[in-house]
Amino acid sequence: GGGAPPGFSNLGNTCYLNATLQCLAYLPTFCQCVATLPPPSTASSSLAASSPRGGGDGPPRAKTSAGQRITMMLRSLLRRAHGLDDAGNRDDEGKGRSSGRSSAAISPKAIVRAVPSLGRTAGGRGGYKFRPGRQEDAHEFLVHLLDAMNDGELRAAGIDQRISGWRGRLPVPRPDETTLVPRHFGGLL
């Protein structure tokens, strides 16, 4: 169906985050790819199975990475923005918004709570400290969000890009170019 997804509630200097999330919600292929990821209970095994190395090559992961968690938060937010959740479903970020699009703003509370971890965990880039309630740069947020998502998908595949020398020893030329983020954004952040 047509129409624009609803906006996101400002939770105190979150304009940078809301503007970035709104832009992502308008990217049809990216939004569809993220929104149709399997639910969190099966996501880590599915992310590993769809990864460049396949599911069985790396050690099993008992715990999801920060990147995988932020990807699942974005999945939930995009599903609600596009009215894909069942009526009456409740999650961390919403208050039971009904199925179908609505003009009511959606609260990105879970992502706002996760923002401080982005500067520390994103793809080895690090060095940037996001602080709740402070004005931040939308581009910095986007770069760190996409880095974290990419890192989460690589870690689910058993690839830790912070370890030097991994690129030259894998069976595919650039496994990071086959993950969700580079497929949609060209891999250069």
- Domain assignment present for residue 171? The answer is yes
Interatomic CA distance for residues 70 and 115, integer angstroms: 9
- Residue with the bigger pLDDT between 189 and 3: it is 3
Sequence-distant (6+) residues with CB within 8 A of 115 are 17, 130, 132, 136, 141
- Domain assignment present for residue 5? The answer is no
Ranked by mean pLDDT, which of 92-96, 125-129, 155-159 comes out on top?
A: 155-159
- Domain assignment present for residue 75? The answer is yes
- Domain assignment present for residue 50? The answer is yes
- Domain assignment present for residue 103? The answer is yes
Sequence-distant (6+) residues with CB within 8 A of 41 are none
Give the chain's domain count: 1
> 104-126 pLDDT, tens per residue?
899 999 999 998 888 765 444 55
Mean pLDDT of 7-35: 93
Interatomic CA distance for residues 142 and 137, integer angstroms: 9
Task: Report H helices in 53-137.
Answer: 66-81, 109-121
- Cβ–Cβ < 8 Å for 151, 120: no
Residue 47's domain comprises 15-185
- Domain assignment present for residue 10? The answer is no
Count of alpha carbons within 13 Å of 25, Cβ hemisphere only? 25
- Domain assignment present for residue 2? The answer is no
- Domain assignment present for residue 107? The answer is yes
Ranked by mean pLDDT, which of 45-54, 125-134, 142-151 comes out on top?
A: 142-151
List Cα–Cα distances, 27 to 32, 60, 85, 152, in angstroms.
Answer: 8, 32, 19, 21
Tell me if residue 106 falls in helix, strand or coil: strand
> 53-100 pLDDT, tens per residue?
444 344 444 478 888 999 999 999 999 999 886 433 434 444 444 445
- The yes-or-no verdict on residue 164 having pLDDT over 80 is no
User: pTM of the prediction?
Assistant: 0.72
- DSSP code, position 178: G
Mean pLDDT of 10-20: 94
